[in-house]
Amino acid sequence: MHYPVLIPGTLLRRYKRFLADIELEDGREVVAHCPNTGSMRAVNVPGCRVWVSPSTNPARKLSWTWELIELPDGKGGVDLVSVHTGRANALVEEALRDALVPELAGFAELKREASVEGARLDFRLRAAQGRDTFVEVKQVTLKEDDGHGYFPDSVSERGRRHLEVLAELVARGHRGVLLFCAAHTGIDDVAPAAHLDPAYARTLQAVAERGVEVLAYGCRVTWAQGRPEAVMLDRRLELNLERRWQAAESR
């Protein structure tokens, strides 16, 4: 998936959930749209370099969108993290159509935003023969100080409801899949964030035992002329449904 042309800057602050003050490389301070409804725990780090996309749409209130942030990786380099939750589904759709997720390859038809059981799931994959596969995508950006990736980054009742819907579909003979998309180049494995949302962690374990499949994939970002140019799913990640985060000071 190709990014629009991105402009570098420095994060000054994020506020009112959807707003971020950013100082561009040329010294201008702009207000950018922050397309992320989560807590952005460990990702909202003022002083870090960010990448924003410009818009020339006169109907938009804000001309800039915050896309990515660079976070120290603890080894003298940086990890690139997407803060734009809307990019995850487009990235996964491209990967599905290009058969980059072998576990979900071979479908005859892909439908986005399938309404089922009073909820809306991200994808329905219809086979030429056989059962439908319903896929819910969750973007993972939280890397805790223990070096592991976790989801969610705050309490997510909506996310827990999606798990229950997937389990109900499995009980009706369909295939239900939760796909964690780690949009953080430093995340190599994923676990439920029981320290932030214990109910979600319990539900995830329960629905996995009822037949819901759980996958986790990582991303690779390519650069061109000193800017992030494109991103793709490039590897399956380790999944640990029983891992529990422990704060560094208590380890």
What is the tens place of the pLDDT at every residue in 150-205?
A: 999 999 999 999 999 999 999 999 999 999 999 999 999 999 999 999 999 999 99
What is the tens place of the pLDDT at every residue in 212-233?
A: 999 999 999 999 999 999 999 9
What is the tens place of the pLDDT at every residue in 37-81?
A: 889 999 999 999 999 999 988 888 999 999 999 999 989 999 999
pLDDT at 56: 86
pLDDT at 250: 61
Whether pLDDT at 251 is above 70: no
The tokens describing 236, both together, are: 């399956």
What is the tens place of the pLDDT at every residue in 134-147?
A: 999 999 999 999 99
- Residues 237, 182: contact at Cβ < 8 Å? yes
Closest CA to 245 of 206, 184, 199, 193: 193
**Pairing verdict, β 133-140 and 149-151:** unpaired
Kindly provide the residue ranges of all beta strands, DSSP E only, lying in 141-248, ordered along the sequence.
Answer: 142-143, 149-151, 175-182, 189-192, 213-224, 227-236, 238-239
Residue 239 CB contacts under 8 Å (≥ 6 apart), including other chains = 180, 189, 190, 191, 214, 215, 216
